[in-house]
Amino acid sequence: MFHQLKIAPTSMFEADVNCFWALEQDQASYNREEFVPDSYIEVVINVGAPLMLETESGLLELPRAFVNPIQNKPLRFRAAGLSQAISMKLYPWAVKPILNIDANPSTVHVIGLDAEWQRFADDLTQIVAHRGYAEAIDRYQEYVGDIAYRHKHDVTPIRTAGHLLRRSEGQIRMTELAAQSYLSFSQFERRFKQYTAVSPKTYARIVRFENVRNALMMNPSGRLVDLANDYGYSDQAHLIREFKSFASCTPRDFAANASADFEHQKHEYWSWLLKESLQSVRTA
């Protein structure tokens, strides 16, 4: 079973939040997945079975509400049963303005949120159980609206630069970004890292990687030399080296696995849709 819901943020958050999403997935298929880096920070509310993170020391059970900062390598999350989660997908500069916490990863990468968030996670779990994901996402947006932007943060130059960087698909020069932010390069680099916990150059690399990853998922047989040219790599070898540094596998290996996962999820989705349709017929 695989079911996902994605909802755009309200106008209040559109510069800082990409979307809110909900996921419901059976334990076996969820636990097969590896979560590769992308250009977002996730604020995850687990409303299903206990969730664990694979670490060098073994499995670590995660709190109900946690932040997954910018990744630089794949992570493996493991569910103890049916995986059910709701998440706010943030642009990385938005962590301080919205949550008023630093975006720096913890020693185990993820950041557990405070007791108030954990109580909210319990409330959201009940909403999902009794009224569904759409209403739970509405409540999530309301909750964030009540706590966001309480403190003054001069994030506008970094927010503007971040969106420019994303629109350029990670290919804009860092000196140009700094100039458009009306900051010296050292000031720009320091302030960008203060908000996002990564340097602008590293973020540009992640954005390029994410675009290549998405292209391979859409067209697993795409030519790497063409992707290297399209996304600003010096050559195919440069693309492969950068891809491996974030995905811990070659682009071709990733494409093969992604294609198999896509077919599996497509089968699960159609099975779920058929089940829902039959249920509707029976209750009509």
> What is the band of 269 on the pLDDT scale with cuts at 50, 70, 90?
very low
Domain at 2-147, CATH class: mainly beta
Confidence band, pLDDT 50/70/90 cuts, at residue 280:
very low
**What rounded mean pLDDT belongs to the chain?**
91
Q: Average pLDDT of 241-248? A: 98
Q: What integer is the mean pLDDT of 65-77?
A: 97
The percentage of the chain sitting over the pLDDT mark of 90, rounded to a whole number, equals 86
The DSSP code sequence of the chain is -EEEEEEPPPGGGTTTEEEEEEEEE-HHHHHH--B---S-EEEEEE-SS-EEEEETTEEEEPPSEEEE---SS-B-EEESSSEEEEEEEE-GGGHHHHH-S----BTTB-EE--HHHHHHHHHHHHHHHHH-HHHHHHHHHHHHHHHTT-S----HHHHHHHHHHHHTTT-S-HHHHHHHTTS-HHHHHHHHHHHHSS-HHHHHHHHHHHHHHHHHHH-TT--HHHHHHHTT-SSHHHHHHHHHHHHSS-HHHHHHHHHHHHHHHHHHHHHHHHHHHHHHHHH-
> pLDDT of 143-168, one tens digit each?
999 999 998 889 999 999 999 999 99
Percentage of the chain lying above the pLDDT 70 cut: 90
In this prediction, residues 204-221 reach a mean pLDDT of 96
Dihedral over Cα of 51, 70, 40, 15: its sign: positive
- The pLDDT-based confidence of 257 (bands split at 50, 70, 90) is confident
Mean pLDDT calculated for residue range 172-200: 96
The answer, yes or no, to whether residue 273 has pLDDT greater than 50, is no
The owner of tokens 């995905």 is 247
Give the CA distances from residue 164 to residues 54, 139, 178, 269, in Å, rounded to whole numbers and listed in that order.
35, 31, 11, 35
Tell me: pLDDT of 16 over 70.
yes
Please tell me the predicted confidence (pLDDT) of residue 18.
98
Asked if 86 and 140 count as a contact pair (C-beta separation under 8 A), the reply is: yes
pLDDT band of residue 241 (cuts 50, 70, 90) is very high
Domain positions in the chain are 2-147
Q: Is the dihedral of CA 201, 95, 15, 186 positive or negative?
A: negative
118-135: average pLDDT:
97
pLDDT of the residue at 94 = 97
Confidence class of residue 281 from pLDDT cuts 50, 70 and 90? very low
